[in-house]
Chains A and B, each alone.
Chain A
């Protein structure tokens, strides 16, 4: 194999996740089982080699916890909104496909933003333009330009939150400048 090896530090989040899944599936978090899980994780990561995920090099836990809670609250609110739309509007619901240009060009952040946007009911990622890192989002109940602007702002706010949690230093300072301006 001629692909370049990645450092253990970069691979560590994947290995830790695999060990957690192993422990959870065996329902056994004893040291022996975890050690064997770690052995299998390393073996799997070596045999079934995937392109490395480029991490931003930082992770802010203090920002991640409120972000996760906000995400959960949004999922709850939006689920009831979709329930209301399904019952009240039904076939007459108006939606839109909105282009949302993102700030970051990192694959991880674009993917994470797309995932979170797609998990919140009422918005669905239809298409991703990787070269310009633009998400095309199908939003339900987007009746006019005002709603479209709100959807665009929501997605960009989600991305801003993710940059604050795990974006690179450069992305973070660019974001701070944008907010200050």
Chain B
């Protein structure tokens, strides 16, 4: 590398170093959240979300370090697929968790979905007892 480009290089190195450390910090946040949050829903927040930022920062740092243009489209596509899939998985797990009552009602300040679910269950002829039995039976 030329001596003239040295300062530019060190700036790139510094930026990617910061991004990598913060990206790793986001993974740590996910781990701490998984361990400390009380129920499935709050854990899903920790498990799925900070990695969107963490992956972005790590991919960005990777792109800066590779110094070739063709790596950028791959990184962008990788991140976009992450953006498309993370909400879907979070939604599916959250939805299943809510329906199987993997949550602590005392930790919810309001629950505007409960009445709707009860009503829908009542319409289909299911009672709440069935749900409780199914949960207890496992």
Contacts and interface: CB of A to CB of B under 8 A. Distances in A.
A79 B86 CA distance: 15
A20 interface: yes
A78 B53 CA distance: 10
B44 A124 contact: yes
Given A75-B56, A121-B52, 6 more contacts: A20-B73, A24-B74, A82-B29, A96-B108, A99-B116, A127-B113
A29 B41 CA distance: 42
A136 B110 contact: no
A79 B77 contact: no
A98 B113 CA distance: 7
A97 B111 CA distance: 5
Chain B interface category by residue count: 35 or more
B17 to A, nearest CB: 18
Contact of A79 (B29, B70, B87, B112): B29
Contacts of B14: none
Contact of B113 (A27, A29, A97, A148): A97
14 contacts: A27-B73, A72-B56, A90-B36, A95-B107, A97-B108, A114-B87, A118-B90, A119-B52, A125-B94, A126-B91, A127-B95, A127-B116, A129-B116, A138-B41
A180 interface: no
B50 interface: yes
Interface of A: 20-21, 23-25, 27-29, 72, 75-76, 78-79, 82-83, 85-87, 90-99, 114-115, 118-122, 124-127, 129, 136, 138, 140, 142-145, 147-148
Dominant SS among interface residues on chain B = helix
Closest 8 CB pairs of A and B: A121-B49, A118-B87, A90-B36, A24-B73, A83-B29, A86-B33, A99-B112, A27-B70
A21 B80 CA distance: 10
B38 A91 contact: yes
Contacts of B44: 124
